[in-house]
Amino acid sequence: MTRSTYALSQVVNLIGGGTPKRSETAFWNGDIPWLSVKNFNNDSRYVENAEEYITQLGLKKSSTKILDPGMLIISARGTVGELAQLKSQMAFNQSCYGIDANSEYLENDYLYYLLKIKIRELKSIAHGSVFDTITRETFDNIFVSIPPKKEQLAIVEILGALDAKIELNQKMNETLEEIAKTLFKSWFIDFDPVRAKAEGRPTGLSKEISDLFPDSFEDSELGEIPKDWKLSSLDDKYDFLSGYAFKSKDWIETGVPVVKIKSIDSGRVDLNTDTFVSEEFLNTKSSYILDKGDLLIAMTGATIGKVGVVPISTEKALLNQRVGKFVHRDNTKNLFLNCFASSKYFLKNIENLASGSARDNISKDQILSIKTVIPTDDVYNKFGEVTEDIRKKILIANNENQILEKLRDTLLPKLISGELKIPNAENLIEEAEI
């Protein structure tokens, strides 16, 4: 089929955003979602939620606009090139552009994937004295080859199916993680079973589990805690390994993947990295080899304290500096630590301990110094046993998403460029047995 080439600015409509005055309380806390880049910087196709909302008056009295479902939003200043598609009407700030396909040439669904492969090019010509910036003129200098709409829709069907499965797995994992966190909060923060027994009420647990909990409290420096439990730092139960400081001369184009801070994303560690070293490091630096279920933490920068779990993988990966790995002394992968490290209390402690002149940093010793309430071994082990099925399901879903994302990212540029034909792409998906 015939393809035609255009400047990107010829086939899209750019929409500017804005921010209502913060000082005007009547402009805020309304019912209109208002987006900033932090709401869609997670590499998901869709953005569904905003942290802030504005009123109709705020919309009217500012330069922000409403984007309709299906339209796109791209970050244009500072953190350049984050991209998402809207599922519902939302307003947005001035650091982003709304993008709507010119329907004479493009479908918005296809435009999303077209822009995905143009992000690097957009970033390369972004300019600014302090921050990189995408301007309207940037879109004049990006050229795209566009197939007929029938082919666009066929490409979207293939890539969209992969993204839909990825999103389904992500939502399932979010549900599973919430179940584990709810149980963790009940047992180890609110102490619900202990309070119930102390007050002579049923715990709602089986007798076997209920009998593991004490029926009274004792004082600690953080207040009352269950009897015979202890307030202790993390080093009471865990060790910690900081990553290896690979040198620039170690990097090669392909080989053993190295996990950096940017690999920690949405509670998961992405092994589809672009950083590799030779296989000789597997022998010389074997202690830095990652295993499925390992819990990693970012130790510096804007994402300090962010944690992620290493998925199942047939290939080995190594741990880079400024990323740390928790080590369970009992050689388990009990979700107690995962739930604690995902809590606001843990992150607040990280923020308070972090220090650094140019950017925040935190050390192994500081992380392990954070205190929490440690239950008796039988309760700790029972929590691990009860949540083990959740842990396994999360690992399996994360592993499937690694495969799906790698396949999608392989097919994307080849389908958009026309190098790979639709039937061949369908065959590759069938061969992957997904």
Per-residue model confidence as pLDDT tens digits over 180-217? 999 999 999 999 999 999 999 999 999 999 999 999 99
Residue 356 pLDDT greater than 80, yes or no:
no
For range 109-138, the mean pLDDT: 83
For range 118-145, the mean pLDDT: 81
Q: Distance between CA atoms of 321 and 324, rounded to whole angstroms?
A: 8
The pLDDT of residue 17 is: 97
CB atoms near residue 12 (< 10 Å)? 24
Asked whether the CA dihedral 213, 214, 216, 221 is positive or negative, the reply is negative
Backbone angles phi, psi at 231, to 5 degrees: -90, 115
DSSP labels for 272-320? --S-EE-THHHHHTGGGB--TT-EEEE-BSTTTT-EEEPPP-SS--EEB
Residues 368, 259 within the same domain: yes
Residue 32 Cα distances to 22, 60, 87, 95, 346, angstroms: 15, 12, 14, 18, 32
What is residue 218's DSSP assignment?
E
The pLDDT of residue 89 is: 97
Residues 293, 410 within the same domain: no
- Helix H or strand E encompassing 35: strand 28-35
Structural domain of 409:
156-169+397-431
In a domain, 215, yes or no: no
Count each helix (H run) and each strand (E run) in the chain, helices first. 13, 24
Q: 142 CB contacts (<8 Å, ≥6 apart)?
A: 7, 8, 9, 118, 121, 122, 125
DSSP percent split of the chain into helix, strand, coil, nearest 5: 40, 25, 35
What is residue 77's DSSP assignment?
B
The pLDDT of residue 15 is: 97
Q: Are strands 46-47 and 217-220 parallel, antiparallel or unpaired?
A: unpaired
For range 318-327, the mean pLDDT: 96
In a domain, 228, yes or no: no
Q: Distance between CA atoms of 36 and 45, rounded to whole angstroms?
A: 16
The pLDDT of residue 324 is: 97
Residues 366, 414 within the same domain: no
Residues 142, 24 within the same domain: yes
The residue that leads in pLDDT, 120 or 307, is: 307
Q: Distance between CA atoms of 282 and 251, rounded to whole angstroms?
A: 14
Average pLDDT over all residues of the chain = 93
The pLDDT of residue 264 is: 92
With vertex at residue 308, the alpha carbon angle to CA 367 and CA 346, rounded to the nearest 5 degrees, is 35
Q: Distance between CA atoms of 47 and 99, rounded to whole angstroms?
A: 14
In a domain, 312, yes or no: yes
pTM of the prediction?
0.88
Q: 396 CB contacts (<8 Å, ≥6 apart)?
A: 312
Residues 47, 20 within the same domain: yes
Q: Are 310 and 395 in contact (CB under 8 A)?
A: no
Q: Are 87 and 48 in contact (CB under 8 A)?
A: yes
In a domain, 319, yes or no: yes
Tokens matching residue 293: 């279920």
Strands (E), 102-227: 143-146, 217-220, 223-226
Q: Distance between CA atoms of 327 and 234, rounded to whole angstroms?
A: 11
Give residue 96's identity as a one-letter amino acid code. C
In a domain, 362, yes or no: yes
Residues 113, 161 within the same domain: no
Q: Are strands 230-233 and 371-374 parallel, antiparallel or unpaired?
A: antiparallel
Residues 134, 14 within the same domain: yes
Residue 132 pLDDT greater than 80, yes or no:
no
In a domain, 115, yes or no: yes
Q: Distance between CA atoms of 366 and 370, rounded to whole angstroms?
A: 7
Residues 365, 245 within the same domain: yes
In a domain, 40, yes or no: yes
Q: Distance between CA atoms of 297 and 306, rounded to whole angstroms?
A: 6
Q: Distance between CA atoms of 341 and 318, rounded to whole angstroms?
A: 22
Q: Distance between CA atoms of 71 and 109, rounded to whole angstroms?
A: 8
Nearest C-alpha neighbor of 53 from the set 79, 26, 72, 71: 26
The pLDDT of residue 315 is: 85
Q: How confident is the model at residue 78 (pLDDT cuts 50, 70, 90)?
A: confident
For range 391-416, the mean pLDDT: 94
The residue that leads in pLDDT, 81 or 266, is: 81
Tokens matching residue 104: 């004479």
In a domain, 220, yes or no: no
The CATH number for 51's domain is 3.90.220.20
The residue that leads in pLDDT, 356 or 150, is: 150
Q: Are 371 and 220 in contact (CB under 8 A)?
A: no
Q: Dmax of the chain from CA atoms?
A: 77
Residue 129 pLDDT greater than 50, yes or no:
no
Residues 9, 142 within the same domain: yes
Residues 163, 135 within the same domain: no
CA dihedral angle for residue 265, residue 303, residue 330, residue 390, rounded to 10 degrees: -30
- Tally of domains in the chain: 3
